[in-house]
Amino acid sequence: MKILKKTKNFGVFLIFFLLTNISNSQFLSKSRYPYKYQNYEFTLKVEQLGTFYISSINVDLGDSEVINYISGNDIISKKRPGTFNQKDFLIYMNNKVYNTEAKWKSVLKELTTWLEKTKKGDPEKRKFILTMRNKRSGKIIFKIKGFNSWPYRVTLRSSSHPLPSIILCLAVENTEIIFE
């Protein structure tokens, strides 16, 4: 414990490693997160819907169960990866981009139409690409490709902007992460 107490800014260090979400809105808060992440932007390109600009995302990239097994007469237990569990994506649309009522309504209509098809028992499973890039250089940091995704909820949340934030909740069957 003495080592931990000597570490300067341990609270910030601990929070940084415990975070499970990537969020522009959190990165912009300099008092809470002193790191300069405001130079990044997120976009979501959904098959048949187009590209959406995102203010923040909450992604748990899933986990894999570990299976212990013993082979033949071996007395030593070995480990191998088992089932992969994919978590859901919570995606917050950027009100700074969808700042007019017409733009905001069109995004909401596209997403709720997709959701309604899912509710009727005919989920249109679509591919998507979630991209994080540097605002200044345009360089892509990473991409998350999602396969067989569909919405299970579209919500509105009040915000400091005159229009409420649109939150898209996606169920995803499989993902692939690409670092560039």
What SS3 string covers 64-94? Answer: EEEEEECCCCCCCCEEEEEEEECCCEEEEEC
Residue 13 within a domain: no
Q: Is the pLDDT of residue 159 over 50?
A: yes
Residue 84 within a domain: yes
**Residue 168 pLDDT class (50, 70, 90 cuts):** very high
Give this prediction's pTM: 0.66
For the chain, the domain total comes to 1
Q: Is the pLDDT of residue 18 over 50?
A: no
Residue 32 within a domain: yes
Q: Output the pLDDT for position 105.
A: 93
d(Cα 147, Cα 38) in Å, to the nearest integer?
29
Residue 135 within a domain: yes
CATH code where residue 160 lies = 2.30.110.20
Residue 127 within a domain: yes
Residue 37 within a domain: yes
Handedness of CA 31, 36, 38, 43 (dihedral sign): negative
Compute the average pLDDT of residues 26-36. Answer: 38
Q: Output the pLDDT for position 47.
A: 93
Residue 58 within a domain: yes
* Domain extent at residue 48: 26-63+79-179
Residue 59 within a domain: yes
